[in-house]
Amino acid sequence: MAPEVESPKVAQGDAPVPLSYLRGVDSGVVPHAVSRLRTQRLARSTRPFLSRGGPRGERCDGCRLRPSHCLCALRPQLDTQAGVCLLMHDAEPLKPSNTGWLIADVVAETHAFGWSRTAADPDLLALLGDARWQPFVVFPGEFVEPPGRVVQSLPAPDAALSGHAGRRPLFILLDATWPEARKMFRKSPYLDRFPVLSLHPDQVSRYRLRRSTREDHFCTSEVAALCLELTGHAQDRRAGRVLERYLALFTEHYLRAKNQQPVDWQGPAHRSLQDALSSSCTPQS
Ligand SMILES: [Zn+2]
């Protein structure tokens, strides 16, 4: 696949606003892994972060949207067989448009770590060494040396393949701009021992056909949705569909807030998410 890991365009066109001008509003939801990483990152910040967050005002701490457009009541946290491990470049947790946040909203088993060139978080290393998980680094195969590390599919859930048997897939996503992600991939030796999952062009184009945006690049939550669909587990496939529609709903709320339009609570994006949530876990094919 082409370089895909990039933040969505929803925030572009907004004037940069220092985050300190945006007042957080308590959402009452329990902070997830990305939210906690954001809090840690803000605490370390020695200068105000320049956010593309839109006009000055309040933001919900739970979903990062204006309180009038808050999505927290619809946060669809789901249990999955697969897990997601986000390795986030420095400022990613602070960006109001970061979609790794949405993955953590939907996939209960989401882990998030800040990436550093010089040292790996001990908790990250512990997770990668946990025998319950089979990590896969999600990255385009054409940039991988040696190419023998690259896989384009996952073992069937019940397959007794050596090395994978009984382990839950853990998708390691590099949450960064494309140049940053390439650097992270090259300079993280603790990832070198894991297979690299390169999304197959057929899967990518099928996904591209059914999504609503026309962007060439996938954002991080879209990559996660695609990975979840690959596991063959009904729970994961459902979570992938929910994540895809949750991104669409988040984008709609974000844009409506930006354009000072009210939320359309009965609109197609809301119905589409509800349909995915009420669908059975049984795979269609
Ligand atoms: Zn909210």
DSSP result, 187-230: T-GGGTTS-EE---HHHHHHHHHHSS---SSPPHHHHHHHHHHH
Distance CA 108, CA 136 (A): 18
> How much distance in Å is there from the Cα of 66 to the middle of ligand 1?
8
> How much distance in Å is there from the Cα of 274 to the middle of ligand 1?
18
> How much distance in Å is there from the Cα of 96 to the middle of ligand 1?
12
pLDDT band at 165 (very low <50, low <70, confident <90, very high): low
- pLDDT at position 55 is 47
Helix (H, G, I), strand (E, B) or coil at 273: helix
Q: Which amino acid is at 184?
A: M
Q: Which amino acid is at 59?
A: R
The pTM is what? 0.85
Per-residue pLDDT tens digits for 15-59: 444 444 456 778 888 899 999 999 998 888 766 555 544 445 788
For the chain, percent of residues with pLDDT exceeding 70: 80
Residue 96 clears pLDDT 80, i.e. is over it:
yes
- pLDDT at position 158 is 57
Per-residue pLDDT tens digits for 71-86: 999 999 999 999 999 9
> How much distance in Å is there from the Cα of 235 to the middle of ligand 1?
25
> How much distance in Å is there from the Cα of 99 to the middle of ligand 1?
15
pLDDT band at 281 (very low <50, low <70, confident <90, very high): low
> How much distance in Å is there from the Cα of 62 to the middle of ligand 1?
4
Q: Which residues contact 189 (CB under 8 A, 6 or more apart)?
A: none
Residue 159 tokens read as 């397959």
> How much distance in Å is there from the Cα of 9 to the middle of ligand 1?
20
Mean pLDDT value across the chain: 84
Per-residue pLDDT tens digits for 180-203: 999 999 999 999 999 999 987 777
Residue 60 tokens read as 């919900």
Q: Which amino acid is at 75?
A: R
> How much distance in Å is there from the Cα of 120 to the middle of ligand 1?
31
Question: Alpha-carbon torsion 236, 241, 242, 248, what sign?
Answer: positive
> How much distance in Å is there from the Cα of 68 to the middle of ligand 1?
9
| Residues with C-beta atoms within 5 A of ion ligand 1 | 27, 60, 62-63, 70, 72
